[in-house]
A and B are shown apart, each in its own frame.
Chain A
Amino acid sequence: MQTGGTLLRVGTAGPASINEIGDVEARLRERRYIGDRSLATAIFLALKLDKPLFIEGEAGVGKTEAAKVMAEVLDARLIRLQCYEGIDLAHAVYEWNYPRQLLHIRLLDETQDRRAAEREIFSPEFLLRRPLLDAIDNNDPVPPVLLIDEIDRSDEEFEAFLLELLSDFQVSIPELGTIKAKRPPFVVITSNRTREVHDALKRRCLYHWIDYPNLEKEVEIVRARAPEAADGLAREVAALVQGLRGMDLYKVPGVAETLDWARSLAALGATRIDSSLVDATLGAALKYQEDLERVREKVPAMVEKARGA
């Protein structure tokens, strides 16, 4: 038991029960996230070294999902910041609730001290807390998981700000002073690589590239995440998608598409695939008209091949 003084923490980062890579792997799997050992390694080290984890990969390979599952594994709150072009501090960190402040100041008695009134309206009560402030100024028993999603959509100005935030985990609000994280959040940053993120930011992070899974792994993923699909169907859909990834397409389907497709087919009552079913549901996997046209004529051959897989 602790007997006064400062709280001593042994093995600072991460929950005590995560002692090796295998623990991360097992916990992800328990929560039906099927990932590589190398992803588990990156997550494990990010926790142990207290560093942000930078995950890149094509769309729909489970980058965001990895962060969500991590929050579950750590039993931590997930705070998500979705990036977009033009995102600024007012949307990412904090904003004063101006309408409320105006209303409040108008209701004040004329005789009241102006200074005191100003102090009052610039108090936390009038502060709109956005995700980044929320993540830094937390009183959670377990530090939250901060997911900065699709950072490639934001612009360089915001990236520069993030760089600063990630180096000292503090935010300055002129009217309130500096707020520093008592316990920094576990940060996961994802990118679809629509543009190159600055090296300085990446240097602060551990990096992991999520690749498309191989057939066995993808079957496993479908079974775990779309259990409504029969075993045979899961395998055939995974095989179909693996085939599509080898074709010359504008946008090859990700794992998210595989799952959508398996679920769509299961919803139609299918337990195996056939040409007409595949043809009718092809839109679950392919999102470009040119791609659809190119693949349509090859459906019978692909179905035959997938059924043999």
Chain B
Amino acid sequence: MPDTDLLPRLGAFARLLHDSGIEAGPRRLTDATRALTYIDLKREADFRGALRSVFVGRKEDIPTFEAAFDIFWAPPDPRITAGAIPGRSRPLRMSPERAAAWSAALGLSSSQMSREQEARSEPATSSGYSAEELLRQKDFEEMTWDETEQVRRLLEQAAWRVAERRTRRMRAGKTGRIDLRRSARHAIRSSGELMQLFRRKPRLRRRPLVLICDVSGSMERYSRLLMIFAYAIARREDLEAFVFSTRLTRITRQLRQRDLDKALEAVSKGVHDFSGGTRIGDALADFNRHWARRVLGHGAVVIIVSDGWDRGDPAQLTAELIHLRRSAHRLVWLNPLIGSEGYQPLTRGMAAALPYCDDFLAAHNVQALDDLGRLLAGLGRRSTRV
């Protein structure tokens, strides 16, 4: 080790990364220690690059890593806090207690790591509706314990599972194509005589689900129920979940929490625009460009939950829906308003969307969600679209 001081500092840096949500276990710390023996520590870019290649495991973690690196290894001089050096003023997200502890340990002013600063640094969009985008954290605790339990129980007991599709992976079966490999193997045991033909057929897998939920103001009274619904599905199916109001946020990871309350808390912390305005077209455009290729493989079923009260451009919504429908196995639109009496899909967004959805269903109560479940269970192995 070139520098005996470096090891404990590296350990502390790993803890900082850990507290910011990057996995920095002993294996990575060991790798980092080894890596640093090979590089010229005086070159900051190489030092940074070496630690990045060891500690970062996915693209999303890169900004967090850079922020942590800046804060830890390059203690700020006054110009930094004044924003004079671009890219060096990024705050680091972590729980408030942790942030306080770290800023004390590193001798920083707490504002450098705090969450408020990040909230302020969110780019303000030019749209008039973003004024409605309330950067507040929605409190899920308002839902009574009874309600929560009831919904959870009903969903957990629901008899349906998402329909299966054929995969390219094969397994042994009584019917299907001849499995030459196994048949030949057996034939060899009987001196090359083909005594028995073995067969194989495609293995079946449940289709992945992609849930895109509207949590804007007009959907406010349903959003809690929908999050519970999403959580319940995530427990048993392969689910990718997103919410949007003025912009799209992925909540898949948050929903993976084992405990419902923790999951809901994580979602409400991660989503900054609960009950804001609605721009469905923008949200779907974002989805199509940044997520579709990643989450729509393997014949996914896409479920959009929204009342269709859209402030955006209907032409854009139509164009994005057409694209989305082409890349999904099936596109389902759930509308909580269908449940209300005399409802007709007359909102601008809904009228634009209707012709491009495969299914259009209600979603105002648990019964309606159960109907959805039956639809999902009934989807064929091949495309049944007409």
Q: Which A residues are closer than 8 A to B by beta carbons?
A: 20-21, 37-38, 41-42, 44-46, 48-49, 51, 54, 56, 84-86, 88, 90, 95-96, 98-99, 101-103, 105-106, 108, 114, 118, 121, 155, 157, 192-196, 199, 202-203, 206-209, 248-250, 290
Contact = CB atoms under 8 A, between A and B. Distances in A.
Interface stretch (B3-11, B125-133, B180-188): B180-188
B168 A121 contact: no
Given A38-B52, A206-B53, A250-B289, A86 B169 contact: yes
Contacts of B374: none
Interface of B: 23, 25, 27-28, 31, 34-35, 38-40, 45-46, 49-50, 52-54, 56-59, 62, 167-170, 180-181, 184-185, 187-188, 191-192, 285, 288-289, 293-295, 297-298, 319, 323
Contacts of A46: 53
A209 B62 contact: yes
A56 B188 contact: no
A98 B185 contact: yes
Nearest to A192: B293
A96 B192 contact: no
Contacts of B50: 41, 45
A31 to B, nearest CB: 21
Given A41-B50, A250-B289, A102 B187 contact: yes
30 contacts: A20-B40, A21-B40, A37-B45, A37-B49, A41-B49, A41-B53, A45-B38, A48-B34, A54-B57, A56-B58, A56-B59, A85-B169, A95-B181, A96-B181, A96-B184, A99-B184, A102-B188, A102-B192, A106-B191, A155-B167, A195-B297, A199-B57, A202-B57, A203-B25, A206-B53, A209-B59, A209-B62, A250-B289, A250-B323, A290-B323
A37 B285 CA distance: 34
Contacts, number: 123
Given A96-B185, A102-B188, A196 B168 contact: no
B41 to A, nearest CB: 12
B53 A203 contact: no
A202 B58 contact: yes
Contact of B58 (A95, A192, A196): A196
B167 A85 contact: yes
B168 A85 contact: yes
A207 B34 CA distance: 15
Given A49-B31, A85-B167, A203 B23 contact: yes
Given A37-B46, A157-B169, 16 more contacts: A20-B40, A44-B39, A45-B54, A56-B58, A88-B170, A96-B185, A98-B180, A101-B184, A102-B184, A121-B188, A155-B169, A195-B297, A196-B58, A202-B57, A208-B53, A250-B323
Given A41-B46, A118-B188, A199-B23, A84 B38 contact: no
Contacts of A49: 31, 34-35, 38
A207 B56 contact: yes
